[in-house]
Copies of this chain bind each other. A is one copy, B any other.
Amino acid sequence: MSEIRKHYFLPEYCIIAEERAKRPSDFAGPPEGSEKNPSESCVFCGANEEKTPPATAVYKNGEVFADTGEKRVSNWDFRCFPNLYPALSPPLSPAHSPAHSPASPPPGFPGKGLEVFPGSGFHEIIVESPVHGKKLKDFSDTEISGLMRVYKDRVCHYAAHEKIRYVSLFKNSGKSAGASLDHTHSQLIALPVCPPGLERELKAIRERKKCPYCTLLETEKTSPRLIHENSKFVAFAPYYSIGPFEVWILPKEHISFLGDFSPELLFAFGEILREVLRSYAKVLGNMPYNHMFYQLFETPEYHLNLRLLPRISTTAGFELNTGIYINTVSPEKAASYLRGDE
């Protein structure tokens, strides 16, 4: 099982997950662009279900199933299963392990001043289509809003677990964005701790009278950084952008958690996400990117947002040293390109 280790004196964490370990000679990975591609060998493709762990949830014609034992559901629309190389592993049942929380380090205390927690959690793959090479930008209305429903369901499923404090839902698209397989998929990692960045945000939000996301929405709705808007959402290049063509999508309504989204809101969310991805494709081609959900459950002060970041610049020594990002494209310029002005 992996370990969640705390920084010596800061509220920061790393996950030591040797399940994924290799020998040093294996570290020089394959060069960029050498993703395993041929669809017959792709384990995420429809008809290759046997090559992955049994699914925890399989979506088919709007209904939800699960693989039972060795029998796999076929002809699915979306398929969710545990990552074969998990960063975190499901908590053992209470009968087998004492209840460890971040407040109570496990018996194997690592030394004076050092803190460790068991790497309890969940790491799930969400395959977004059975079809190899299909991209979110080309999803139909039914497909994209279906995916939003899957996102909502899976986040709710893990948020309900008593040991889970945060559910990280994200997509790595392209090798330099961290994807090891080309077939379109997202990932979900459910954590027993709240990430330090979210804690800091929440602290700053609680010190204010009005939700700062609601405030910035007012500004960005009429700013030169606005990119797309529909009845429920706004997509814009944030004034504080950590890289070229970063985009944030915010619901106009103050809402903190995907679990509280109505079907109407899910539909509008899928629509604007697809719109942004189409703009990316027009301006940047097949650029690797990440998208990440920022949301908190049982925390109504928070304002959910989705952030998209094309992987154009390299995070180098300066960014690692300072946490300050150098961005060579102003958000105003990025928004202009993504709106199609030039």
Contacts and interface: CB of A to CB of B under 8 A. Distances in A.
B113 A240 contact: no
Interface stretch (A15-23, A72-80, A90-98, A263-271): A15-23
B18 A330 contact: yes
User: Interface extent on A, as a size class?
Assistant: 35 or more
B196 A323 contact: yes
State the main secondary structure of chain A at its contact with B.
Answer: mixed
23 contacts: A8-B216, A8-B238, A8-B240, A12-B324, A15-B325, A17-B328, A24-B337, A28-B287, A111-B239, A112-B219, A113-B216, A114-B219, A168-B317, A170-B316, A176-B314, A177-B314, A191-B324, A193-B324, A195-B322, A197-B323, A290-B317, A294-B321, A309-B320
A194 to B, nearest CB: 9
B325 A284 contact: no
Contact of A9 (B112, B198, B208): B208
Number of copies: 2
Interface in A197-245: 197-198, 200-201, 204-205, 208, 212, 215-216, 218-219, 223, 238-242, 244
Contacts of A20: 326, 328
B24 A283 contact: yes
A5 interface: yes
Contacts of A187: 317-318
A186 to B, nearest CB: 8
